[in-house]
Amino acid sequence: MDLFRSNELLGIAGETLDFILRASEDTHPNEYMGFLRATDGAHLDLDRDGQVITDVLVIPGTESSPTSATVQEFMRPNNVQSVGSVHSHPSGVLRPSNADLGTFGQGDVHIIVGAPYGWTDWQAFDNDGSPVELDVIDVELPDDEFFEATREALGEDVPATADLDGRDTAREEPDERERGGGFLSWLLR
């Protein structure tokens, strides 16, 4: 984290806007909601000071219907450094409702995306609900290494043929715990 980064919001990454549009369309006819996080422009090889919206944080347990999306505040991480919010209006209306304005307090920009969720079907607003310009910036997003496990991250003593448990995976026959397979089977080890 940069202690002295500029708070100026330069815009939103094109890939991030594309993600928002697709997520809103996938959630239709219900509303989609998330919180916006930004990356310092210097980390994106920009020659200007400021931040670019690069991430959307979706809170587990968010309840969604065709007319609203509600975040379960107790599920929101304490360290969320949000620059604003995003939600969809399945009706296609690109202006905030009174309920929307009540949620616009945290962050500097709030995006409403409307059906049919094309590149022109969105609008950014300030905390008071006034429209603001938000540039779409073509930047390469940093790789998200949060879920990537490398030998270096796990330690040099992990053999190249080991799985994340450190067990040697070069054996011919899997043991009984490995035969079950499936997404959750690794939790049961």
Chain-centre distance for alpha carbon 175: 38
Q: Flag whether the pTM goes above 0.75.
A: no
Nearest-CA neighbor of 109 among 120, 94, 124? Answer: 124
Please indicate whether residue 31 is annotated as part of the active site: yes
From the CA atom positions of the chain, what is the Rg in Å? 21
Task: Print pLDDT tens along the chain (189 aa).
Answer: 444 446 799 999 999 999 999 999 999 999 998 889 999 998 999 988 999 999 998 876 556 656 666 665 655 555 567 899 999 999 999 999 998 998 887 789 999 999 999 999 999 999 999 999 999 999 998 775 544 445 454 455 545 554 544 544 444 444 444 444 444 433 344
Domains of the chain by residue range: 9-137, 149-182
pLDDT at 59: 72
Catalytic-labelled residue, pool 8, 15, 31, 133: 31
Task: Say whether the peptide bond before residue 116 is cis (omega within 30 degrees of 0).
Answer: yes
> Does 9-137 carry CATH code 3.40.50.300?
no
